[in-house]
Structure 1
Amino acid sequence: MSDQIYGIRAVLEAIGAEQPINKIFLQKGLKGELFKELETTIRKNGISTSYVPIEKLNRLTRNNHQGVVAQISPVKFHVFETLVENILAQEEKPFFLLLDQVSDVRNFGAIIRTAECCGVHAIIVPKNGAAPITDDTVKTSAGAAFTVPIAKVDHLKDALFYLQSSNIQVVAATEKTEDEIYAMDFDQPTAIIMGSEDKGISPSILSMVDHKAKLPLLGKIGSLNVSVACGVFLYEVVRQRKA
């Protein structure tokens, strides 16, 4: 598990110091002015939270948590706009990967590892609903989580609009199309978006993309694990750009 910070004032200070916080667990029914200040600060910073019984907090730590436990990410996240602009200034064919609600930490780690091997310039995930970067994520990524820049955004829709306005094509990996991946032209600035393990890419995101592409499935099982499917997509980009 990631390192933890507990106690209301300690967590407030961590937020103020811009510590990379994965998630904050708050005790249900807790009241008080300082607790309200913490809730307000959490909302302003868009940090993922969960209200839980005190028993959950007691399992997370044996220390005096005062009804608040924050899980700290081992990786510091980048500011989305700054990261994108730096990449655009340095790369002729930027290569981005967006993950829509991929929630399994090991899948996330495997995807990060493959992304690093394929030369992805940045990974973009939503602040809420995405898998946190935990010690398991880092281990599964074989350390790539420290190498590939990762940015968290409030809404993936805004990130898509920003990328498209920067002349980057957005390609969705989805079975809801007749177009196969091999018909795509990846030899240009590209962002690939992968969906969650159970629901795929959300309809509102799908309505925004430039292209949709699917993998041919010749067996009886109707889908691939998201990390495996992501690997196929990323390496098709590599194949085309090396051709």
Structure 2
Amino acid sequence: MQNEHQIFGIRAIIEAINAGKEIDKVFIQKEAQGELMQDLLKTLKRNNVNFSYVPIEKLNKLTKNNNHQGAVATIAPISFVSLETLIEGVLEQKQNPLFLILDQLSDARNFGAIIRTAECSGVDGIIIQKQGSAPVNGDTVKTSAGAVFNIPICKVDHIKDAVFYLQGSGIKTVAATEKTENHLYDIDFKQGVAIIMGSEDKGVNPSVLKIVDEKAKLPMYGTISSLNVSVACGAFLYEVVRQRL
């Protein structure tokens, strides 16, 4: 079965994936067993569909106790673009594009808030990882104030591959991280650039930090010494806007 944003039931999800439906994420009941469940897992892995294991209470809440058979899929309200299509399409139109890479950002509301700021600050495309990223769901759409429909979003298997591809296309990559002495305001953002923001708890993956062109941090004066990722992202994006005005 399905409603506007969900599909529940193992066989229904398998059929939807095989039919090419744009599935954003699948929630699977912890310790779920059975031959059909194994078929679903094989289908998810074969098609690179993002999934996670959750308690049955989460599935009951998602479906209001419908017969979910241990699996619920969320349908993306948008279509995703490929990395090559995104970058080549933007580079044909402008010389100094602005891309945003979100490395394992997992909160849908933070994601929505970032999309809203990205759209307002002229970001040409957002790149996320297929596994472990926040779903594009109702919360994302709501907190983005509809901006999710106005900005291309691309899913990649690995953030590192996206970084290499951008660098090969002449785009400078800048990671937001506390693990540097460079301040945000020391970086030149006038050329084509991709800003990489990390997850809420771990920041940018160390393997990604090793390959970026530059690292930058925001100066901090309080005792907490960390900002919400969507607020930090806004500060980075508007420094790009300031420099390009």
The residue correspondences of 1:58-73 to structure 2 (distance < 5 A) are 58-61=60-63, 62-73=65-76
Deviation at 1:79, TM superposition (A): 1.6
**1:125 matches 2:103:** no
Partner of 1:25: 27
**2:18 is matched by which residue type in structure 1?**
G
Distance 1:12 1:116, change over 3 A: same
For 1:168-193, what per-residue CA distance to the aligned partner results, in whole angstroms no more than 9, with x for missing partners? Answer: 00001111111111111111010000
Between the aligned partners of 1:234 and 1:172, the Cα distance in structure 2 is: 12
The residue correspondences of 1:121-160 to structure 2 (distance < 5 A) are 121-160=124-163
Between the aligned partners of 1:29 and 1:113, the Cα distance in structure 2 is: 37
The residue correspondences of 1:104-119 to structure 2 (distance < 5 A) are 104-119=107-122
For 1:177-214, what per-residue CA distance to the aligned partner results, in whole angstroms no more than 9, with x for missing partners? Answer: 11111111111010000111111111111001000111
Deviation at 1:56, TM superposition (A): 4.1
**2:43 is matched by which residue type in structure 1?**
T
Residue 47 of structure 1 is aligned with which of 36, 46, 49?
49
TM-score by length of structure 2 reads: 0.92
Residue 241 of structure 1 is aligned with which of 232, 236, 244?
244
Partner of 2:18: 16
Distance 1:114 1:35, change over 3 A: same
The residue correspondences of 1:156-167 to structure 2 (distance < 5 A) are 156-167=159-170
Aligned residues: 241
Partner of 1:203: 206
The residue correspondences of 1:153-232 to structure 2 (distance < 5 A) are 153-232=156-235
Deviation at 1:55, TM superposition (A): 4.7
Deviation at 1:18, TM superposition (A): 2.6
Between the aligned partners of 1:92 and 1:44, the Cα distance in structure 2 is: 37
Fraction of identical pairs, as percent: 62
Distance 1:140 1:37, change over 3 A: same
Between the aligned partners of 2:46 and 2:209, the Cα distance in structure 1 is: 28
Does structure 1 retain, via aligned residues, the 8 Å contact 2:50–2:131?
A: yes
Does structure 2 retain, via aligned residues, the 8 Å contact 1:2–1:73?
A: no
Residue segments in structure 1 that go unaligned for 5+ positions in a row: none
Deviation at 1:2, TM superposition (A): 7.4
RMSD of aligned residue pairs (Cα, Å): 1.8
Between the aligned partners of 1:11 and 1:221, the Cα distance in structure 2 is: 43
**2:201 is matched by which residue type in structure 1?**
D
Does structure 2 retain, via aligned residues, the 8 Å contact 1:2–1:134?
A: no
Deviation at 1:63, TM superposition (A): 2.8
**1:4 matches 2:6:** yes
